[in-house]
Amino acid sequence: MEAVAGVKPKKKRSLWWTVHHWAGLKVSLFLTFILATGTLATLSHEIDWLIHPEMRAAAPIGEPATWGMMLDGAQKALEASSPGARVERISAPYDFFFAAEAIAVNASGERFRVHLNPATGEAQGITGWFNAQRLFRELHRHLMLPSKVGIPIVSILSLPLLASFITAFVVYKRWWRGFFRLPKLRQPGKGKRAGDGRRFTGDLHRFAGLWSLWFIAVIGISGLWYLVEWGGGNAPAAMRPKMALPVASLQGQALDTAVIAAKTAYPELQVTSIYMPNNKRGGIVVMGQAEAVLMRERGNAVLVNPETGQAMQVQKGMDLSLHQRIAEGADPLHFGSFANHMPKVGFAVRLLWFVAGVILTGLAVTGIMIFAMRLKPADRPLEVTNPSMLGDMWRGMGYFALPAAIATSIGLVLAVSAIFGG
């Protein structure tokens, strides 16, 4: 059939463009929500620092408090406020402007946090277990649903995210030229693109997308790994304690002896957390960072007998299998926490992840805007007389709209319930 004179034939889109368009639009509502909560999760500790004065402290000028001094300080505070409670874990300051933290549990199983001065070991205050860090982490990871239910719902978003990443290289012709092609909003009367908001939004989307390619790959691949773990591909635990030696009461001096034994057995270990003896783990578990990069603190650990003060088991991150290294590196990469043990550097990395997360969330939004701006009156139902971006997005999502709205609503309702009901 011949084209009608004067009518420009409709441009045929490639399969790559169709996949890129589909991956960004069909799950746009839910994807934006998950990206936004993940972005906030990267700086959630800092949000808690702003909310709770008890968490604030200056870095010690001289020698910091020993782990034993912090244990004694936490136990003293617990004796006054919650008799019978026991310390489960003590962690070093999250950054140079944070207090150290002890996690305690009372007889009824309720957990709470004791914030400790890093210079003296004395308690600065006690706050609840649920905080901004738990809120955004649980909301982002599994919508505050049971993990077995929520993790696959969230982590399956890695598939459209990776699809967008791969197809972008084909959809954006000569993409390498766009890194320094700044989007410009032309002034009225100055060029054929004057006042063209759609073109500007498209340019902005491509420009931000190019500079975010590395971050999209990191988030997409680590998110896919969480889906693999949920499906049964999780790696064996880095350390399986060979003994169970619960101790009713551990004093600070004994803990300092255990830390010395751990450092003697593993001199490279930079201690960041200590787990107290209990029936589940057994012994004192001294964890931290060492030679291995991209490693959660549990990957480097020394198990110490609390009765003899001797190191019984040493686990080095460098000795883990490739499977275990992938498992231990997923979280540090996903949340930008791999430099947390480095003062000031850790905050800079988390801030970079936050900014990258804001841009990635913006990409999801600008993708929706581009779709809505491209629609013509004939593309919308006749009853739509006052089109809106949200309406266009909802219709464009098609059959995915209702599931996405339900998943997002569940997360919001459970979050509100946890905040005001906890």
pLDDT in tens, 46-71: 999 999 999 999 888 889 999 999 99
pLDDT of 302 reads 94
pLDDT of 187 reads 57
Strand ranges of the sheet holding 270-275, from the earlier edge strand across to the other edge: 123-128, 111-116, 100-105, 86-91, 270-275, 284-289, 300-304, 311-315
Rounded to whole angstroms, the Cα distance separating 189 from 199 reads 16
pLDDT of 280 reads 52
Residue with tokens 């001065």: 117
Rounded to whole angstroms, the Cα distance separating 94 from 62 reads 18
pLDDT of 7 reads 46
Cβ–Cβ under 8 Å, residues 67 and 256:
yes
pLDDT of 175 reads 85
Cβ–Cβ under 8 Å, residues 299 and 320:
yes
**Helix, strand, coil percentages for the chain (3-state, nearest 5):** 55, 10, 35
How does pLDDT run across 94-141, given as a tens digit for each residue?
Answer: 999 999 999 999 988 899 999 999 999 999 999 999 999 999 999 999
Q: Report the candidate in 389, 366, 395 with the shortest Cα–Cα distance to residue 24.
A: 366
Rounded to whole angstroms, the Cα distance separating 281 from 82 reads 24
**Residue 62, exposed/middle/buried by CB under 10 A (0-12, 13-18, 19+)?**
exposed
Residue 163's Cβ-side half-sphere holds a number of Cα atoms within 13 Å equal to 18
pLDDT of 374 reads 79
Rounded to whole angstroms, the Cα distance separating 156 from 135 reads 21
Q: One digit per residue, pLDDT tens: the chain, 422 residues?
A: 444 445 455 556 678 878 887 888 888 899 999 999 999 999 999 999 999 999 999 888 889 999 999 999 999 999 998 888 999 999 999 999 999 999 999 988 899 999 999 999 999 999 999 999 999 999 999 999 999 999 999 999 999 999 999 998 888 888 888 888 888 766 555 555 444 777 888 888 889 989 999 999 999 999 999 999 999 998 887 776 655 555 556 888 999 999 999 999 999 999 999 998 875 556 899 999 999 989 999 999 999 988 888 999 999 999 999 999 999 999 999 999 998 888 889 999 999 999 999 999 999 998 888 888 777 777 777 677 777 778 888 888 888 899 999 999 999 999 999 988 75
Kindly tell me the sign of the dihedral angle through the C-alpha atoms of 359, 360, 362, 366.
Answer: positive
The bridge status of strand 111-116 relative to strand 123-128 is antiparallel
pLDDT of 376 reads 76
Rounded to whole angstroms, the Cα distance separating 156 from 393 reads 20
Residue 320's Cβ-side half-sphere holds a number of Cα atoms within 13 Å equal to 29
Q: What token pair was written down for 230? A: 């949920």
b/e map of 244-272 (b: 16 or more CB within 10 Å)? ebebeebebebbbbbbebbbebbeebebb
Q: Where are the alpha helices (DSSP H) in 184-321?
A: 197-211, 213-228, 252-265
Amino acid letter for position 137: R
